[in-house]
């Protein structure tokens, strides 16, 4: 019905990107309008103000209603284990703090985001020498990110309506759900930005490989595109630097909050299943939520690592030119400059100057979170 998978995926990705764009406009997270004459985004003062007021109003309402609801209703798990209640309260405050910082940074850094978005648009319209074809991994990661976002929202609804003794008011659940969608849409801007940088690096690598094959067959072939590729690589490095500077605090808060939430999820499961000895199909929601959170966390790690490896692959491809007998002095000069640039400047996603986002850091964070869970169980062992 939908044709082949290769034909269907690009259309699905297009729909997801459109949904993210319109959703961001509705929530006031993308305060830009498109100037079709200049083919550039322009920051709207009214959209910025709307986003700031709307999102902070949401948070104030959630904070007030949540505090009132906690006074009226208390979970059985909190009665059984007071430490769980305190930890859950700390995680809740951390979430409010993260949302406050993220929405403020979205308002404060809108000019920087405008520069990044306009540069990406310029690359799309003026990609000299690039064959703008479908990138399979780009499509795959966009679809997976949208699936984790939907999974998190479904887990949120399941927890609120399936947890024994949970009697949150409907309006509080709706507001909290909208806030979760808002935060996910915000972080998806950075995720898609990294993916677009990878997409251009991947296409450039494909063209460079094609050029190597072409020069092997015919050393006199036109190789003027190399200078364009060097210029593109320089622009991508600058984009990478600007993107990290614009979203480093948001990504740090999301990664930290997600792993802290995973600790609470497992501790909830221990209290319900071990301490309270509850046997219910509802308990499946805890491993389900844990799986979705780790999947979402790992997607962020994977896309950063993928982009770094694309930059390393560029350097590897450039070494292939050394095996060729080049007769063009200008080409040799361009390749030397390109190789020097690749060796001295790389794609890096270093947050707050403290740690780089890659597979090594991802494994370390997961191990650390489970160690903290182990310490927590040992500390509160007598109450379990």
Residue 221 is predicted with a pLDDT of: 64
Query: In tens digits, what is the pLDDT along the chain, a chain of 384 residues?
Result: 344 556 677 888 889 989 988 988 888 888 888 888 888 888 888 888 888 888 888 888 887 777 766 666 667 777 777 787 788 888 878 888 888 888 888 888 888 998 999 888 888 876 655 655 678 889 899 999 999 999 888 888 777 766 666 666 777 778 888 888 888 888 899 999 999 999 999 988 888 888 888 877 776 666 667 788 888 889 999 999 999 988 988 888 888 888 888 888 888 778 877 777 777 667 777 788 888 888 998 999 999 999 999 999 988 888 887 777 766 677 778 888 888 888 888 888 888 877 788 888 888 888 888 888 888 888 777 666
Structure pTM?
A: 0.88
Residue 1 is predicted with a pLDDT of: 38
Residue 147 is predicted with a pLDDT of: 92
How many domains are there within the chain?
Answer: 1
- Rounded Cα distance between 104 and 107, Å, is 5
Alpha-carbon dihedral sign for residues 159, 163, 168, 171:
positive
Report residue 106 as tokens: 């979205």
- Rounded Cα distance between 40 and 188, Å, is 21
What's CA 30's distance to the chain center, in Å? 16
- Rounded Cα distance between 261 and 297, Å, is 12
Please choose, from the candidates 136, 128, 137, 142, the residue with its C-alpha nearest in 3D space to the C-alpha of residue 225.
128
Residue 57 is predicted with a pLDDT of: 86
Domain span including residue 116? 5-383
Write out the DSSP string of 184-241.
Answer: HHHHHHHHHHHHHHHHHHHHHHHHHHHHHHHHHH-TTS--THHHHHHHHHHHHHHHHH
CB 54 within 8 A of CB 179: no
Residue 320 is predicted with a pLDDT of: 83
Torsion-angle region of residue 358: left (phi > 0), alpha (psi -120 to 50) or beta? beta
Residue 164 is predicted with a pLDDT of: 62
Residue 103 is predicted with a pLDDT of: 84
Residue 194 is predicted with a pLDDT of: 93
């Amino acid at each position: 019905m939908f044709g082949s998978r290769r034909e269907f995926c690009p259309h699905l990705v297009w729909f997801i990107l459109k949904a993210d764009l319109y959703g961001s406009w509705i929530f006031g997270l993308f305060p830009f309008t498109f100037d079709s004459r200049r083919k550039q985004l322009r920051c709207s003062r009214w959209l910025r103000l709307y986003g700031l007021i709307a999102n902070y109003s949401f948070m104030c309402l959630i904070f007030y209603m949540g505090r009132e609801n906690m006074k009226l209703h208390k979970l059985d798990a909190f009665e059984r284990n007071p430490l769980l209640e305190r930890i859950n309260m700390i995680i809740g405050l951390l979430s409010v703090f993260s949302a406050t910082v993220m929405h403020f940074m979205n308002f404060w850094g809108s000019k920087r985001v405008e520069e990044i978005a306009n540069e990406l648009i310029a690359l799309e319209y003026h990609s000299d020498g690039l064959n703008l074809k479908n990138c399979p991994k780009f499509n795959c990661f966009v679809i997976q990110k949208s699936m984790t976002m939907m999974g998190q929202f479904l887990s949120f609804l399941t927890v609120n309506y399936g947890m024994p003794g949970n009697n949150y008011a409907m309006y509080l659940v709706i507001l909290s759900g909208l806030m979760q969608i808002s935060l996910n849409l915000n972080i998806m801007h950075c995720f898609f930005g990294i993916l677009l940088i990878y997409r251009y690096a991947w296409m450039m690598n494909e063209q460079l490989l094609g050029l190597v094959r072409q020069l092997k067959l015919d050393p006199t072939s036109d190789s003027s595109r190399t200078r364009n590729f060097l210029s593109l690589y320089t622009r991508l490095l600058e984009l990478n630097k600007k993107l990290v500077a614009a979203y480093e605090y948001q990504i740090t808060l999301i990664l930290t909050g997600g792993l802290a939430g995973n600790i609470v999820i497992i501790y909830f499961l221990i209290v319900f299943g071990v301490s309270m000895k509850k046997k219910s199909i509802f308990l499946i929601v805890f491993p389900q939520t844990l799986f979705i959170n780790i999947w979402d966390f790992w997607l962020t790690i994977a896309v950063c690592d993928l982009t770094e490896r694309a930059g390393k692959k560029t350097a590897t491809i450039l070494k292939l030119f050394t095996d060729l007998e080049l007769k063009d002095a200008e080409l040799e000069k361009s390749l030397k400059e390109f190789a020097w640039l690749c060796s001295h400047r790389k794609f890096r996603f270093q947050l707050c100057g403290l740690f780089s986002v890659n597979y090594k850091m991802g494994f370390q964070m997961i191990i650390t979170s489970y160690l903290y869970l182990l310490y927590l169980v040992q500390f509160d062992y007598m109450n379990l």
